[in-house]
Amino acid sequence: MKALRSAATNGSVLAGLVLAVMYVVYMYSSVDVLTIENATDLFNNAAPLVVAATGLTLVIVSGGYDLSIGGVVVIANVILATQSGSTTQSGLLAIAVALAAGLLVGAINGFLVAYLGVQSIAATLGTFIMCTGIALVIMPSPGGSVPDFISPGLNSTVGGVVPVAFLVVLACVLGWLILRRCRFGVHIYALGSDERSAVQSGIRRANVKFRVFVGAGFLYAAAGVMLTAQTASGDPNGSALFMVLVFAAVAIGGTRFGGGRGSAIGSILGAGVLAVLQKMLFALGVSTFYTGIVQGAVLILAVLLGQVSLGLAQRSRVSESTQLIHGTEPAGPQAAQTGGQS
Amino acid sequence: MTPVLELNGLTKRYGATTALQSVSFEVAKGSTHAIIGENGAGKSTLIRILSGLETPDVGTMSLGGSRYRPKSLGDSRRTGVSTAFQDLSLLPNLTVAENLLLPRLGGGRLIRRRANRDAAAVLLSEHGLDHIAPTQEVATLPLADKQKVEIVRAVSHQPRLLLLDEPSAALPDVEWLYHLLAKIRSDELTVLYISHRLTEIRDLCQAATVLRNGEVIDTVQVASVDDAEVFAMMGGGAKEGHGAGARTSRGLRDTPAISALNLHGRSIADVTFTLHRGEILGVAALEGQGQAETFRILAGAARPSSGQVEVDGEQVGLRSSAVALQHGISFVAEERKTEGIFPGLSTLSNVTIGSLDKVGAGGLLAGPKEHSSTRRWAKEVDLNVRYLRMDIDALSGGNQQKAILARSLMRGSKYLLLYDPSRGVDVGTKSTIYDLMERFVADGEGAILWYSTDLAELTGVCDRILCFYRGAVVAEVTGEGSTVNTLLAAITGHSNDARESQVRS
């Protein structure tokens, strides 16, 4: 019962269920779903979303918001499209520069939020707008190209079996599991739950916040690299929709906006839901014009589902613990002691 | 006796309010030293300064002979100071083990969960908390267990100065705490014990420092003073009876206006009382004794888990504030800034916003009518009519409070629930508020339930006063028979003292 309840209230489990249902529908609506090509394609679609959602989950669990995703992704994208040359070496160098740019933007966000006390939405909105401006300076119009090592390189498989994108997703999952066992990971959850209590527990608030934003910035840049592998070119304007989908993935994954609860595993599954949804709709012959409508509806339904199951679980918990509360009622002995007065 | 902790002239200001005013005292090494004071006496600020969460504006501290000026909680811990906070600093989404071991969590950067769990289990069982599982999430613990975990965590740092801020506030029995303190007692450990419960202080402490309004009144040996002297020091002696003096002439009313019957809720248990028409019923309590929830239930802003409310002798379901208003109950909330006024609107709009149907015509506001009908109520509450055209933000706290009262009156409410309306307003406005309250109930129709943190004004104005303690009404005294000291005794859980002064049933 207890295990069932904790499963029902766990956003990751719900997102996993939604993902499984969709995948089954997708499987029956199309032939040769279960091929390596198809799986690779799916992971390629999901990978940028997965990586960025992992970063955003970091920030949201710690109690902040981050709107700089779109900015960092587009900067990484235009850096690769203009600077990566045509060899593997120059490609690697450009990737390093792109990741460094992500770290830098994250550090700026972190400094503003952690040390200057700027509200995270305001600070990251500012850096987002600046980043899109910088992207236009680097690359005024869509175009550019990347070496084969990036595209199709990052979109292909290792040894014809394991998609590179799958390894990237796996790295995110493992990374998160390790983080949960780190001191830093516990501090993030503590801070997101109650800043005042966290500080009174000896946690260094500014330090933790700063590191969260730096880590997130790095992941957004990595997401930008994976996205560029798909488009094989640069587009200084193509970031807003991507950012919205990242937030959607986090929401579907059951992470609480406001901090303290949630997990990147849920967000990763949420990203999977969005990716499979696209495939499923295509396989069902639904025009791509309708994709957005369905994506939005799925987001709302998933969050609603999470809320309902949480409410049910809480109700059963309350009725179970009523006795407990009454046993320790603060007024109990006192009222008896002074009874008969009123 | 050598002092281990010395405070010299600590002063701390937050804007215009002075939380601590040149506080100086010494604490003897190896002793348990109490700090006593009413709400807002400065106890919590003192704790936060000693814990390194705040720095004093002026003054110095020394610990064990060397200068002590912590800049963070980590600083204070390294110096051997550890605190169990009153507001509990546990993280509800983490496990008991994680909470106990924060922030270092054992091991290196990677946590060894099993080792942590074992370490936490040892800590818990050492302190008689075997029934708490280390893997349990703190959110699922009852409040009393949370308080115990908070205390165990503070003790586990093996401090030489242990700060306990209202450690028994959520404990149903203090035996556990007594036991723990007896066990950790040593000549090297000094305990600062913040509480308002004299019984505990007599049992545990040798010396006590009394704070009032941020100043040290005295530091005394606990054995050498009696309770009445302590209450007098906390409350400031005989200043009661100010305000209206003609109060007592009114006879006892017996038509019930609002009855609370066996109300239970998150912070209250079995609260029963009746407010009669023509009566000013006072509520005296320290912070957080259930009075806030009681008011919110009567105002329709909260729901009791069980129990009933009757208005004019009929049972009503106060589902929302709007329903309460329909029954003629108007609530003036504590947080004037956030719950009372609409900043950015004119004072006029702030007054009329509750009764727009009366000043409008066909759904539209009729300017002149709004203005003329508001004047009358402004005069009623002694609010200068020239303020009506001004933005309400520009008014002083006292005038804002008058405007809010005018709003309730204009709405035609029969019953007022006033939650500390005179806090932070000047003396002149206070007496205006008293006059207004008197007039409001004078016709024998209206009734007022009034919570105030100023015990002296309660004794001066009320017909009866209910004393709340730990979520229940522990005493009821008549206005004329009460003094600040009897109230103070009752609301700090020493009802026997209060009973001496005319407790009626």
Residues B170 and B252 in one domain: no
Describe the strand order of the beta sheet including B447-451 as a list of residue ranges.
B329-332, B415-419, B447-451, B280-284, B464-469, B472-478
Residues B169 and B213 in one domain: yes
10-residue averages of pLDDT along chain B (505 residues): 87 78 91 83 87 91 91 90 87 90 75 84 90 90 87 92 86 84 89 84 90 87 84 61 44 78 88 89 86 88 87 85 85 66 78 69 63 79 80 75 82 85 70 83 86 83 88 84 80 60 38
Question: How close does chain B come to A155, measured CA to CA in Å?
Answer: 33
Final residue in a domain of this structure, among B171, B202, B235: B235
B85 interaction partners in chain A (CB closer than 8 Å): 200
* Residue B240 within a domain: no
Q: Tens-of-pLDDT digits for all 342 residues of chain A?
A: 555 555 555 678 888 888 998 888 888 887 777 788 888 888 999 999 999 999 999 999 999 999 999 999 999 999 999 998 888 889 999 999 999 999 999 999 999 999 999 999 999 999 999 999 999 999 998 988 888 888 888 888 888 788 999 999 999 999 999 998 888 999 999 999 988 889 988 899 999 999 999 999 999 999 999 999 998 889 988 778 899 999 999 999 989 888 888 899 999 999 999 999 888 888 888 888 888 888 889 888 888 887 787 777 666 554 444 333 333 333 333 333 333 333
Transcribe B228-267 into DSSP letters. HHHHHHHHTSS-TT-S-SGGGGSPPP-SEEEEEEEEE-SS
d(CA B21, CA B14): 12
Could you list the residue range(s) of the whole structural domain that residue B474 is in?
Answer: 246-499
Are B286 and B157 part of one and the same domain? Answer: no
B307 shares a domain with B191: no
Query: What residue ranges do the domains of chain A occupy?
Result: 2-313
Whether B111 contacts chain A with CB within 8 A: yes
Instruction: Check whether the bond before B256 is cis (ω within 30° of 0).
Output: no
- Domain-terminating residue out of B211, B235, B259: B235
Using a CB-CB cut-off of 8 Å, the residues of chain A touching B87 are 196-197
Taking contacts as CB-CB distances below 8 angstroms, the residues of chain B near A338 are: 474-475, 495
| Cα–Cα separations (whole angstroms), residue A136 to A71, A133, A142 | 11, 5, 9
Q: How close B442 gets to chain A, by Cα (Å)?
A: 26
CA A268, CA A271: separation in Å to the nearest integer?
A: 5
Q: Evaluate whether the domain defined by A2-313 bears CATH number 1.10.10.
A: no
Same domain assignment for residues B193 and B168: yes
Search chain A and give the residue with CA nearest B154.
Answer: A201
The Cα–Cα gap between B228 and B230 comes to: 5
Task: Clarify whether residues B283 and B212 are in a common domain.
Answer: no
| Token pair belonging to B108 | 């290196």
Residue B89 near chain A (CB below 8 Å): yes
Among B206, B235, B264, identify where a domain stops: B235
Structural domains of chain B, count: 2
B215 and B311 within one domain: no
CATH number for position B204: 3.40.50.300
Angle at B23 between CA B18 and CA B25, to 5 degrees: 165
Compute the count of residue pairs across chains A and B with CB atoms less than 8 Å apart. Answer: 133
Residues of A with CB under 8 A from a CB of B: 178, 181-184, 186-187, 189-190, 192-194, 196-204, 260-261, 317, 321, 324-325, 328-335, 337-338, 340-342
B219 and B324 fall within a common domain: no
Q: What is the ipTM of this complex?
A: 0.76
Is there a domain that residue B291 lies in?
yes
Give yes or no: residues B51 and B181 share one domain: yes
How near does any CA of chain B get to the CA of A193, in Å?
Answer: 7
Which residues have C-beta within 8 Å of that of residue A322, sequence separation ≥ 6? Answer: none
Amino acid B244: pLDDT: 42
